[in-house]
Structures are given as C-alpha cells and as structure tokens.
Amino acid sequence: MEHLAANGLVLLISGFEDGGERGGLFRYDGNAVEQLDDVPTTGVTLVDSTLARVVRGRPEERGSTIVVHQEGGPTTLKVEELLDPHDIAWTGSSYAIASAGDNAILYVSPQGRLEDTWRAPGTGDAWHLNSLLLVDGHLCVSAFGRYERHREWADADASKVAGLVYDVVTGEDVLTGLSAPHHPRRVGPDWIVCNSGRNAVTVLDVATGRPMDELVLGGWTRGLAVLDRYLFVGESPGRDMEEGVTATVAVVDRTTMKVVDRFAVPAREIYDIVAAPAELLPRIGF
C-alpha cells in the first residue's frame, strides 16, 4: 500500500507455529512480504532504535529467550523464569513480559536480570495473560478472564465474554465483556481490540467501555497495528486446519470499518504487527 511507503514505514509481523518449530519475523512494505529470519516469535516491541522480541518455544518448557536488536548487533537474553511468554513491552526501565504459563508478568532488566514479578490470582495459566501496553504510564494487560485454575478459560462451560483489559498498577478493570482479547490499543477517544474469540476487531468508547463498532474477519484475530487511516489485523487459521493454510493480514479502513485489502504471510499463526521506520531495519541487522 502506498500509504506505508508515503510515511516511510514498513510492517514487522511476527509468526510461529503451535509447538514452536516454525515461524519468524516478516517485513511488509506495501507491495510484498519478505521473510527476515526463521526464528519463531511472539511479542515485539520497538522503542526508538531498539527492537526486542520474544522467541516462541514449547509452551510447557520453562526458560525463554529475548532477542534485542539494536545498532551494533543483536543481544540474546535467556530468562529462565519465563513460562509460555507472550508479549513484551518497555516500561522505561525494564522489559515487562507476559508469562502466561505462570499467570504472571515478569520485569526484566536490559541485561536479562529478573527484577520484579507481578502475579494474578489463580494457578498455572488461569487468566491467560497475553498482550501488554502502557497507557498514561500504567502497564495494562489483556486476559481471557479472572479464572482460578489452569486453562479454566478453555472449559466448555467457560464464559465467552469474560475477557478483560486490566490495569496492573491500580488493580482496576479497564475493559470487560471481551472474548479472548489480544492487542488492545488506546487511540484518542477509542479503544481498538482484537476480540479474538469472535474473530473480530472491536472499537470501544474510552469513557464508557461500550462497543461502538465491530468487524468480523476471517480468522483468529491477533496482531494489530493502528495507522491514521488503516488498521492492519492479523488473521490466523484454526490450529485444526489442514496443512498448508497460512495466516493473513486484513487491511481495514478505519472510517468505514471495511476490509480494503488482504495479504498472506507464510506462517501458520501471526502474533504481533508493528509499524517501523523502513530506514531503521538495515541499521539493526535486517
């Protein structure tokens, strides 16, 4: 899309396959998708000229790798305490990482040292903590619900609208009534959220938390980049789909909430989508 090129941007798209064997980081310049590497990746955060990513391993194995790309080359940080990590965010002094398998958020120094841990109530993967973002200096996290035991959210009788966005600093619910949410984004008077359990992207009013608009898409919605005119939303096929089916990114006009384009990504699942300056990538090793 010429919109990306006109603003000097590309999209960085992280992907993986359940089990952690395949995936990588992909670049989309508005015309074509290019695979930058084959390292399975979940969360990606970009701050100034530093990009940090979470390497996707096997969810049941403790200990994960964070790769920090910056001028001078990449640095690999092994964080032994992580279990099924999902997203990563820079807080200003440390990396916050959602460790879904432990119902926790770990704060890790730029050198890879565990500095602090916040833990939600419940055992194992009770809340399914996933996507992180800073709002007015407060760390917020999306979760599948306030459950008490490991993977209770996957039970057949579990509520389909128990999902929430939670302020870790105040202990308050920011948004409720969501369905397996990922990647909440605060944009002016709106929240925009991947309502993944509904295969949808949903716009909600900041003041009331009420849904204002919603678009149902073609797969599990996860990964969301918001530009001034467009939304780029990841669509991952179900894990029971036949071999060879890959993920796509839907390009949604923010004014009409209609899909205006769609392109394929050669990964089974998309986790994150981040807009980045095109000129930055060669400087940090891509």
CATH architecture of 2-283: 7 Propeller (2.130)
pTM of the model: 0.95
Q: What is the pLDDT of residues 35-58, one digit of tens each?
A: 999 999 999 999 999 999 999 988
Selection from 156, 155, 5, 184 nearest residue 176 by Cα: 184
Domain locations in the chain as residue ranges: 2-283
Poorest-confidence range of 20-34, 68-82, 186-200? 20-34
> How far apart are the C-alpha atoms of 29 and 105, rounded to whole Å?
33
- Cβ atoms of 54 and 69 within 8 Å: the answer is no
- Cβ atoms of 237 and 221 within 8 Å: the answer is no
What does the pLDDT read at residue 7?
A: 84
Average predicted confidence (pLDDT) for the chain = 94
Q: Find all residues with CB under 8 Å of 96, minimum gap 6, and list them.
A: 88, 89, 90, 105, 106, 107, 108, 132, 139
- DSSP 8-state code for residue 255: T
Inform me whether the pLDDT recorded for 255 exceeds 80. yes
Q: What is the pLDDT of residues 101-134, one digit of tens each?
A: 999 999 999 999 999 999 999 999 999 999 999 9
Q: What percent of the chain has pLDDT over 70?
A: 96
**What does each C-alpha distance from 13 to 10, 63, 216, 283 come to in angstroms?**
10, 23, 21, 18
As a whole number, mean pLDDT of residues 50-76 equals 92
Confidence at 17, pLDDT banded by 50, 70, 90 = confident
